[in-house]
Chain A
Amino acid sequence: MRNSILFIHPGILAPVQGGGPARTWALMDYFKAEGYAIVLVTSNHGEHNPELSRHVDKLYTPGAAQANGGKPPEGSSQALAACLKKKAKEAAGLVLKTAERGGMPALSSMQRNRHRSLETLAGKAACACRPVAAIATYAWLARALDYMPPGTLRILDTIDVQHVRCARARQSGGNLEHLRCSREEEARELRRADILLAIQDEEERLLREMCPDRSVLCVRHAVSLPAFTTPPAGEANNLLYVGNKYDPNIRGLQSFFDTAWPAIVSRRPEVRLTVCGRICEVFPDSIPNVTFAGVVPDLNPFYESAHIVINPVTYGTGIKIKSIEALAHGRCLVCTSQGTLGLGAPESLPVVVAETGAEMVEAILTLLSDTGKRHALETESYTYARNHFSPQQIFKGLRNCIRDHNIARGKGDV
């Protein structure tokens, strides 16, 4: 019988929206290829549940959807429950705002983002499959690890150091108050894990400070490289941006529209920007030369047809997974220095860094006009991604930890 690894993820995994889910997918795919059975506990994805089920060996979701196209039948108790839950969340949001206005202490993100149903479901899944390791994502899901039976290696993939995110946002004029928590609160949650995964070096250092009695591994983001494809021949006019509805992304793209895009369009009227992801919900359709594609089932065609990928993010923490994905698709990346966070030493990065709107305009127009430079950068990007972000390299340390744990508990290798 194969050993299994239990993944516990609170957000939307399908369709993939944002870096966190992409990272979890990368981990699941890697360990699946390594021969582990993959058990996934996640929120109910409705019509996307079958898609999730195909990718994993066993899927656990709260309140499994009916066979009716994956959606609960209208008028059914589950549909009603889903509606009520939505209303309850809205009400809770109102209560939260009211509480905050009333001067009452607001709930921290550790309390607010708890998923009790996923916690108990994780326990149920763990009892059924007896995994060698359980990997929970985000500090607020650490309590799911409390439900693991003895002998399970409890791993928390932090993705970000949460108490720092909120502080950084405030410093940059952003608003991530819904992620607010104190260092002590976060550390208390993190200690539930045996191993903490940091996504980049600085965060590894921070986590070691917060939890000196816990093992911390730096496990950067990995991408499975698609086959290298060249962008369409002919005039280069296609720009691409991919992002979730997340304050740093929103501010960055807004800044780009305000300070760079009008100039780009006026000097090169044929240029087109395609925006993919939930960030599209924030912007109006009326911006000239911009197509808001929204959440798409497959980003590959968009990468393949893009000449340049932009990442104008102005602040943040962790690692810029969308930048890595741009490199992995062998595309030219024009981004701010924040957009290179976690990618490696800045001097060796095959990206064009532009901080201001004017710099963005020049960088983009230059690249669009210079085919040779563009082609060279594309190749460099792909090579860099292959050398630095392949799952075999990135996840090797984690794999060894899990293997060693399994041997220690007497179950042998995979």
Chain B
Amino acid sequence: MAPISDVTDLSTEKIPVIIALGDFASGVVSWAFRLRDAMAANPRYRVILVNCHKTGNKIGRFDAQVTKLSEIAAILHEFGRGIVIPNFVWDIFEVCAPLMASQKPFKTIGYCRADSDEEYYAPLSWYAPVITRFAAVSPECASILKEKLPERAGHIYTMPTGVLVPNTLARSWQQRPVRLVYGGRIVQEQKRVLDLVPLVNDLRGRSVPFTLTVAGIGRQWDDLKAGINACGASEYVHFTGRLAPEKMPRLWAGHDIFVQTSAYEGTSNSMLEAMAQGTVPVVTDTQSGVHGILEHGHNGLLVEVGDMTAMADAIARLVASGNLETMGRAAHVSARPYSIERYAEKFTAMLDDAWQDEVCCIPSGFESRPKRVFEGINLHNDMSVVPDAKAGRHSPSRKLMITFPSHLRGGAEEYTLTIARGAVASGWEVLAAFTRRKDTETLRQDFKRLGAVYHALEACELGDKAKRASFRKRITRTLRFLIRHKPDVLLLELPGIQYGLGTMIAAALAGIPVISVYQLVRDDIRMPWRNRLAYPLLRLRNQHYVAVSDYSRDILAAKSGLRKNAITVIPNGADLSRFQMEEATRRQARRQVRQELGFEEDTLLLLTIGRLASQKGHDLLVPVIPHIVKVFPQARFLWVGDGPLQHKLTELLRQYDVEPFVRFLGHRDDIPALLAASDLFVHPTRFEGLPFSVVEAMAAGTPVVSTRASSIPELIHHGETGLLCDLEDIYALRETVLYALNHLDKIREMASHARDRAALYSAEAMTAKTLDLLVRTIGKPHEK
């Protein structure tokens, strides 16, 4: 494409503001065009839009098109000065760095457009020395950016977005059918567009008359269409493909409800555009970009990420309530502060501040440091000063990728953190790839703190009918991911035998060895026939299987058809040092915990640690509690953990009139202190892998009463290192707990034996064995 001088008039004295972005059908593109129009009359600045995406300037309104770094360098050279704003094209900072280092009049603004570490926080942190000012699209993003760059806090602006807001609304709303619209990139990793399939299904199931317009393009276009077709909803859903930005206001005004299913956002341009036209937003409650704009029930509706039942319910209720117009008008009013005119004013102020900044903080040696490749648009690297984007990867000796399909934080996920910690300490480069959700936020942060790099990756699983229809596409996506990141080995942590096949197949195709670790193997769950068929073949592609206990190995072997000796047993281990306390420390912990919780010194504390889910059996403990407190009125129950059943368990406790005796402690970081302070650890679980919580209780010397579920008898020998009772037997649980409380001396003696036994289940041993297996796996290309 022609360089910019053929298109623009360079004689102006206005300072060029060069906004580089990709020509996607996305909110950012719409924003850029609006901004340029709004800034047209600005006396000081002139906005230049440069398309960096290889598909070309299809809409035809960009000022320039580049595909190489040399071309962007040429544009900057032509202008000789300016403010450069790359959007998702991080390489451009590499081009700006030498210019700024040599004191050329160039400034840069780094935009944070989403609450995403790998997409924004990581590259912005990396390029911070080259960035004059930062703009975050939401207060939440700004806050996180300030945490990451505290020394630059004063340079971080909150700049949500600017949209066209008509003074009055000249539109109507209708209920039958209600017109839903989604506008944005058709991608899964951020936008979770495939959630539209269950949403559509649910609305049909509720007999809500509706249509859905999907405007945009993206990687998951085919997947989404296939999913809609598979559930027989194609007559209700219309795909428009890419629409020019000037057509978007009419699109929004012609619909009643804007739906968005994103896992994370910055501030959604599309949502605000739609609100500006009186379209009611029904969106997922992302951490960023929603609060402060939406007031649930007033100008929009919020649901949890992934909860399409709730979204369908919200839509159905909204339609039935007849409040579409009221809410739509409220949405329009709420959008007014985000008008492009107001935005342009703030934008100008930020440009002024950046332009006047005379400090250039690029450290010496910036150009020679190892380069990193980030998510985004990568221009072809044809410049000698910047290593090739494809080849310029910092190559560690070994690269481990850890992935798992679950989206909650539990013991199994803690296991992956332990392995990652050990791997990083042993010199591995570690990538953690798992779904991005609110519930995995702390996990992501913890991986980052360890020194691992996080990438969002949706699990490639065969699930419902809609997912099966696009399984091939999702394997392809996982395959591309693996090829791009090229780990030496993949550690696949699986919560069950029915998971993981897609990832295993993708890894086999990519030639990447896999260690699959089965945290949970249930006797009552059938292994899908596909998995049974595939496992022997996958072994030929250097894939290995790990069970966390002998019990799990035996069940896995029986269900998979693998020989027992083809499955390695690496028992789960805990960081035992955290739980080993001097007696004086234990007594202090006992006092402090009771004090903190408002209990007397002689309170008997019965501790249960585990997710508040059916698996862990808290509901079986509830009918036992009245009998315990009748005999031991000083007994109190502490339940550590979060989970979906908290509300139901609370109701059950009220039903049995024992709510005052149970304290929900939620997630806690002081497990060692709680264990040290407790008189009994009660584990009424229905099934387990090899539970970390029991190992930890044993290590802490806390007497254990547990069911005989799964592999627990391998940990606890009844009568020697603890007490066991039958599964799902309330009577047996009651009698065993009563026995324990009536024989505290005896059970404490068992606990001291248990402490010795716990030494067999250390995190060090688990990590060492796992890393050893990883190394051996890399060394053996083919399993005979």
Q: Which chain A residues have a beta carbon within 8 Å of chain B's beta carbons? A: 123-124, 127-128, 143, 145-150, 191-192
Contacts and interface: CB of A to CB of B under 8 A. Distances in A.
23 contacts: A123-B623, A123-B655, A123-B656, A124-B655, A127-B655, A127-B656, A127-B657, A128-B655, A143-B729, A143-B730, A145-B731, A146-B623, A146-B729, A146-B730, A146-B734, A147-B623, A147-B730, A149-B623, A149-B626, A149-B656, A150-B630, A191-B731, A192-B731
A150 B730 CA distance: 13
Nearest to B630: A150
A292 to B, nearest CB: 42
The 9 closest A-B pairs by CB, nearest first: A146-B730, A150-B630, A146-B731, A127-B655, A147-B623, A192-B731, A149-B626, A150-B627, A150-B626
A127 B730 CA distance: 16
A143 B726 CA distance: 13
A145 B729 CA distance: 11
Interface of B: 623, 626-627, 630, 655-657, 729-731, 734
Contacts of B729: 143, 146
A128 B655 CA distance: 7
Contacts of A146: 623, 729-731, 734
A146 B627 CA distance: 10
Contacts of A149: 623, 626, 656-657
A21 B74 CA distance: 93
Contacts of B731: 143, 145-146, 191-192
B558 to A, nearest CB: 12
Contacts of A123: 623, 655-656
B615 to A, nearest CB: 16
A147 B623 CA distance: 5
A148 B623 CA distance: 7
A368 B389 CA distance: 107
A149 B629 CA distance: 11
Given A147-B730, A149-B623, 20 more contacts: A123-B655, A124-B655, A127-B655, A127-B656, A127-B657, A128-B655, A143-B729, A143-B730, A143-B731, A145-B731, A146-B623, A146-B734, A147-B623, A149-B626, A149-B656, A149-B657, A150-B627, A150-B630, A191-B731, A192-B731
Contacts of A124: 655
Contacts of B627: 150
Contacts of B657: 127, 149
A131 to B, nearest CB: 14
Contacts of B656: 123, 127, 149
Nearest to A145: B731
Nearest to A124: B655
A124 B655 CA distance: 7
A192 B729 CA distance: 10
A149 B730 CA distance: 12
Nearest to A154: B731
Contacts of A128: 655
A127 B651 CA distance: 12
B585 to A, nearest CB: 37
A147 B655 CA distance: 11
B295 to A, nearest CB: 33
Contacts of A148: 623
Contacts of B730: 143, 146-147
A182 to B, nearest CB: 15
Nearest to A120: B619
B784 to A, nearest CB: 33
A50 B623 CA distance: 30
A147 B621 CA distance: 10
Contacts of B630: 150
B730 to A, nearest CB: 4
A150 B623 CA distance: 9
Nearest to A123: B623
B657 to A, nearest CB: 7
